[in-house]
Amino acid sequence: MRDLVEYIARALVDDPSQVEVRQERLGGNRVRVELHVSKQDMGRVIGKNGRVANAMRVLLRVAAAREGKQATLDVVDPR
């Protein structure tokens, strides 16, 4: 799951060195995936009306389902 989000994010941003993906287990079969990118690259991974992030969520859902899990994706705003 983590590597799917990481692959997509690295391919879309200007600064791949700033891409970091963390995966956290919540209760049961739920998993939270956190994507960090540089401030300048936020728009690239979110997209207009969140379209890129939502497409990533849809693909992440498939990857998670293959492992019997449910995953959420958060794009974390850098301060």
Partner 1 sequence: MKQERTTLEVIAPTVEEAIARGLNQLGLSQDQVEVEVLDPGSRGFLGIGSRHARVKLSVKAAGEPPVEVASTMPETGALPQVEEEGVAESGMPLGQWDEQKAVEVARRVVGELLDRMKVHARLRVRIQPPQEENAQSVVWVEIQGDDLSILIGRRSETLNALQYISSLIVSREMGVWVPLIIDVQGYRARRERQLRILARRMADQAVLTGRRQVLEPMPANERRIIHLELRDHPEVITESIGEEPNRKVTIVPKRPARRL
Cβ–Cβ contacts within 10 Å for residue 55, how many?
Answer: 12
66: left (phi over 0), alpha (psi -120 to 50) or beta: alpha
Note whether 59 binds partner 1 by CB under 8 A: yes
What's the min distance (Å) between Cβ of 62 and partner 1?
5
Nearer to partner 1, 8 or 37 (CB): 8
> Are the CB atoms for 8 and 35 separated by under 8 Å?
no
What's the min distance (Å) between Cβ of 47 and partner 1?
7
**Which spans of this chain sit near partner 1 (rule: CB under 8 A)?**
3-4, 7-8, 11-12, 47-49, 51-52, 54-56, 58-59, 61-63, 65-67
